[in-house]
Amino acid sequence: MITTKDIAERLGISVSTVGRALSDDARISEETKFRVRQAASEMGYVGNRAARMMRGASSNVVALVIPDIRNSFYSTIAHELSKNMEAEGFQLMLSETDDDRMVELRHLRELSANRVAGVIIVPTARPHGDSIKLLRGLPHLQLLRRHPSLGSQWFGVDDHESLREATAHLVAQGHTRIAYLGGPTELPTGAERLRGFHSALSEAGLPDDAGRTELGPPSSVEYGREAVRRLLEGPDAPTALVLGSIQLTLGVLEELSEQGVQVPGELSVVGFGDEPGFSWWGPGLTTIGLPIQEMATGCALWLMRRLKTKPENDGPYTSVSPGSLVLRGSTAPPDGKAPSSSA
Amino acid sequence: MITTKDIAERLGISVSTVGRALSDDARISEETKFRVRQAASEMGYVGNRAARMMRGASSNVVALVIPDIRNSFYSTIAHELSKNMEAEGFQLMLSETDDDRMVELRHLRELSANRVAGVIIVPTARPHGDSIKLLRGLPHLQLLRRHPSLGSQWFGVDDHESLREATAHLVAQGHTRIAYLGGPTELPTGAERLRGFHSALSEAGLPDDAGRTELGPPSSVEYGREAVRRLLEGPDAPTALVLGSIQLTLGVLEELSEQGVQVPGELSVVGFGDEPGFSWWGPGLTTIGLPIQEMATGCALWLMRRLKTKPENDGPYTSVSPGSLVLRGSTAPPDGKAPSSSA
DNA sequence: ATGAAAGCGCTAACAG
DNA sequence: CTGTTAGCGCTTTCAT
């Protein structure tokens, strides 16, 4: 690897002159600057950021710590961050935790060792104590999930309201046996979504046992399939289903379409998230659309600004983006037998 | 940030003793080691990789340079790499090029400045000369696309054979007006897939004008929609369609389902890739399944090994994974009017 | 307008 | 068993 010293020797000048020329210092003659730049380019010189960091320069790397990039939720976020950051000269490090706090900790150790400029994290349910300590030393931002011990900078969506609205939509259609299938309540998102579900039920004055819930520890496609199978068994199966996780939604859709369940005839369904394919599933999936793109952009811009301004303006910051119900064909009043001419 | 010097001062010993204790050097007494580790942990010491790199240590970062992480093709790859690399203590840098050679170049500059340990790249159609130079200085590996000037380490899928097989399937069903819709031929993948399409036609002895092709410069969902609209217009519209890009497939499926085109009645379709949702699209999408997971794992393992063994065993290496046709319901003999009792 | 030298944090060679 | 010293590549005083 070529260094400033190599260039200096080649031109018979000192390293400091080379350094100054490359940083376009005012007191270097134009001619020298030209010769230096020429040589640098010819020799394929690329400045060593490690060395610069030792002199106090900060890293240009921001890390994104998420459960799984295959979840399109997260890949959209990653893309949006990457795009916004590239424009500002930042690079994106990708760390997948698989929702395992130990993996999360290992990643944070590495990120800290690499002295990344900042971290955007979707924390696991209960981060390790050391993870919390490590994050204290790094400018960071929580995304979607919010853990109290990880500071008060947070970007997320209105989980409670999104599920309340989705459930209310089913209630308005006359459903009285509604099931909710979502992620674990250990996660702040899971808890909020479940709360939203219950809010809608109680607002409608429905009895507590109107709502049946299946809360997966694993928010996986496979679990979604199993859970919906379980839900549909038995005599008083629900007539409607609201979902609280993208992965679970994918599983449910696969299972329902495989079992040939009539939607919305036998069962009304409201999905979570709006993936490619949701629109062409069965009668079109009515689903909770999330403004992840906007959220991610906001998040990127906030962090960029935070990193560029020296002062520790680490005041609490919270951004809650609203979801929106995307109405398609997968919901209808219960007992499809009676096509019901109600509005 | 805590340094070894801080620890040394606190314990009244020298920095080298601290360094050795932390690296579990044999000549340090167990007691000192213990005290050092204790202090390090208490003080929240995290080694500075930048400093280590200046002493010759190599980075533990591998970069993945791809067009767009939202393409599930690439997010699957990213996940697989990440998983395999985390196990070996490597971190994954994510660089999106948006298929823009200038963005690609900027990323490679940064990666080089950061002295990343290695690069896995899906190159743009014609990488910039400087990009080529930069890559020469970095251990790297091409993925899927293969550009001759970027070295001879490559992992990919058998694009030619995959499309040949898919097309042959349609030919076998009796189609004689088959369209191919794929990415630009400037990309090696695009060219190979198109070649596969033509191979199948000529093997079947079909006239050249049997195949109609639409080659998108932009492999986007939107372009897929437009293109299929164009294809279906006019009197001698094709009776079958083979696709050569995931994004285009997504667009085509949306458009066909929106327009209510009967598949396979009016049109037989073979998709590219196997995304969630392809199985529940219409009659189930017959599609070209790709072993991306295996490919990515192979790729990760190869690079890890390459990075761990000092010697420049940069011998040419090529790995071609075969695709496989996933048969579902979207293809049938032409002229659906005659349900045709053939096997 | 340019050089010389110091030092960032760490490790390794060289003394004890 | 432990300390001293040098140097990785770069920027930044402090001297010319």
What per-residue confidence (pLDDT) applies to B339? Answer: 40
- pLDDT tens by residue, B39-72: 999 999 999 999 999 999 999 999 999 999 999 8
Burial-class residue B29 by CB neighbours within 10 Å (0-12, 13-18, 19+). Answer: exposed
CA B16 to C1' C13, whole Å: 12
- Give the residue-averaged pLDDT of A264-286: 94
Which of A42, A97, A275, A280 to probe the B interface (max B CBs under 10 A)? A280
Domain extent listing, chain A? 4-47, 61-157+292-322, 159-290+325-336
- Give the residue-averaged pLDDT of A179-207: 93
For the domain made up of A61-157+292-322, give the CATH fold. Rossmann fold (3.40.50)
CA A14 to C1' D14, whole Å: 16
- pLDDT tens by residue, B214-266: 787 788 899 999 999 999 988 888 999 999 999 999 999 999 999 999 999 99
CA B15 to C1' C11, whole Å: 10
Nucleotides of C under 7 A from a protein CB: 1-5, 7-13
| B-chain residues near A108 (CB < 8 A) | none
| A312 pLDDT tier (thresholds 50, 70, 90) | low
- Quick check: A70 and B60 CB within 8 A? no
| B-chain residues near A1 (CB < 8 A) | 115, 137
Q: Which protein residues have a C-beta closer than 7 A to any atom of strand D?
A: A 1, 3-5, 15-16, 19-20, 22-23, 45, 47-48, 51-52, 54-57; B 12-17, 20, 25, 27-29, 31-32, 51, 54-55
| A-chain residues near B3 (CB < 8 A) | none
B-proximal residues of A, 64-83, CB under 8 Å: 64, 68-70, 72, 75-76, 78-79, 82-83
Same fold, A61-157+292-322 and A159-290+325-336: yes
CA A16 to C1' C3, whole Å: 8
Q: Where are the beta strands (DSSP E) in chain B?
A: 61-66, 91-96, 118-121, 140-143, 153-157, 178-182, 211-215, 240-244, 268-272, 286-289, 317-321, 324-326
Residue ranges in chain B modelled with pLDDT below 70: 310-313, 336-343
This model's pTM is above 0.85: yes
What per-residue confidence (pLDDT) applies to A316? Answer: 84
Which of A2, A76, A84, A114 to probe the B interface (max B CBs under 10 A)? A114
**Range in A123-132, A201-210, B319-328 with the lowest mean pLDDT:** A201-210
Residue B321 vs residue A337, higher pLDDT? B321
- The answer to whether B231 and B259 are in contact (CB under 8 A) is no
What per-residue confidence (pLDDT) applies to B35? Answer: 94
Tell me whether B11 touches chain A (CB under 8 Å): no
Tell me whether B343 touches chain A (CB under 8 Å): no
DSSP labels for A33-100? HHHHHHHHHHHT----HHHHHHTTPPP-EEEEEES-TTSHHHHHHHHHHHHHHHHTT-EEEEEE-TT-
Domain A159-290+325-336: which CATH number of 3.10.20.340, 3.20.20.190, 3.40.50.2300, 1.10.1280.10:
3.40.50.2300
- Quick check: B113 and A47 CB within 8 A? yes
What are the CA-CA distances from residue A240 to residues A21, A177, A246 (Å)? 70, 7, 17
CA B82 to C1' C12, whole Å: 33
- Quick check: A82 and B95 CB within 8 A? yes
- Quick check: A255 pLDDT over 80? yes
| A213 pLDDT tier (thresholds 50, 70, 90) | confident
- The answer to whether B20 and B35 are in contact (CB under 8 A) is no
- Quick check: A236 pLDDT over 60? yes
What per-residue confidence (pLDDT) applies to B309? Answer: 79
CA A2 to C1' D15, whole Å: 28
How many interchain CB pairs under 8 A, A with B? 165
| B88 phi and psi angles, rounded to 5 deg | -100, 10
What per-residue confidence (pLDDT) applies to B207? Answer: 79
Q: From the CA of A51, how many Å to the nearest CA of chain B?
A: 7
Query: Which residues does A82 contact at the CB level (< 8 Å), separation at least 6?
Result: A92, B69, B94, B95, B96
What per-residue confidence (pLDDT) applies to A342? Answer: 43
What per-residue confidence (pLDDT) applies to A343? Answer: 39
Computed over every residue of chain A, the mean pLDDT equals 92
| B-chain residues near A250 (CB < 8 A) | 276
Q: Please name the residue whose C-alpha is nearest to the C1' of nucleotide D7.
A: B55
Q: Quick one: CA dihedral A132, A134, A138, A143, positive or negative?
A: negative
Coil/strand/helix, residue B145: coil
- Give the residue-averaged pLDDT of A230-236: 86
B76 strand C contact, CB < 7 Å: no
Helix (H) or strand (E) holding A181: strand A178-182
CA distance linking residue A238 with residue A254, whole number of Å: 18
